[in-house]
A = this chain, B = another copy of it.
Amino acid sequence: MGAVKTKRMPRAVREQQMLDAAVEIFGRRGYMAASMDEIAELAGVSKPLVYLYLNSKDDLFTACIRREAQALVAAVRSGIGPDQSADRQLWDGLLAFFAHTGAHPLSWSVLHLQARTHGETFAAEVTAMREEIVAFVTQLIVVAAREAHRDPDLPEREVAGLAEALVGAAESLAAWANASDSVTPRQAAATLMNFAWAGLSDLMRGNAWNPPAA
C-alpha cells in the first residue's frame, strides 16, 4: 500500500506522498493515536525527512486539513453551474459533496471528525472552509426566497440557522452513506433535497421534490 520506494524525488512530489500517507493515518487512527513513525513508513521515507519538509506533527496535520479542505471545496464548486436555479444549484452541490466524501472517506474523516476533536487551532482551520460553504448555502436560500417573492425577508438569524441545519444534515448523511456503502451519492442527495426543500409536511401530502434527470 505504501508508495513504492523510489529514491531522490523532487521535494514537491515527496511532500504530496507524505500528505497522502498522513491523511490516511490521521483519518484511520485519529490525530493523537497517529504516529509519525507509521506515517513516515507508509510514505516510504525516513522520519527526519518528514520533519525536514513538514516541520512538526502539528504542521503536518494542519497541512493535511488545508489540502483536503481545499480539495473538497473545489470539488463542490466545480459541480455547480452558476446560472442555474437555486434548488438546482443546491442539488448539484450536494451531489458533488456526497460524491467527493464517498470517494475519499479518510479525507472526510480528517475534516469532519479528527480536525474538530483536537483543539481550537485545528478546528478553526476547518471552520474556515465550513463557513464558506454555509455562506454559500445561506445566499442560496436568500436568493430562492427572493425568487419566490417572499416578503418580508426571512430574518437573518433564521436563515443562518437553516443553513447550518442543512449543512449539518448533509455532513451527517455523508457519514451515514459511507457507513452503509449501498447508499449512492444520488440517493443521499435526493433524501436531503426532499427533506430540506419540500419539508416533511409536504412529503406527507405527497409533494416530493423531484431530482433533475441524470
Residues of A near any B CB (own CB < 8 A): 30-33, 113-114, 116-118, 141, 144-145, 148, 150, 154, 157-158, 161-162, 164-169, 171-173, 175-176, 183, 187-188, 191-192, 194-206, 209
Contact = CB atoms under 8 A, between A and B. Distances in A.
A176 B161 CA distance: 9
Contact of A172 (B144, B169, B187): B169
Contacts of A192: 161, 165
B187 A161 contact: yes
A209 B183 CA distance: 31
Secondary structure call for the A interface: helix
A162 B194 contact: yes
25 contacts: A30-B117, A30-B118, A31-B32, A32-B33, A144-B200, A144-B204, A148-B204, A150-B205, A157-B187, A161-B173, A161-B176, A161-B191, A162-B194, A165-B169, A165-B172, A165-B173, A166-B195, A168-B168, A168-B171, A168-B173, A168-B176, A199-B201, A199-B202, A201-B202, A201-B209
B201 A197 contact: yes
Contact of A199 (B30, B161, B198): B198
Contacts of A164: 172-173, 176, 191
Contacts of A188: 161
Given A161-B192, A162-B203, A165-B172, 6 more contacts: A145-B204, A158-B191, A195-B199, A196-B199, A199-B199, A201-B209
Contacts of A145: 203-204
Given A197-B201, A200-B141, A168 B161 contact: no
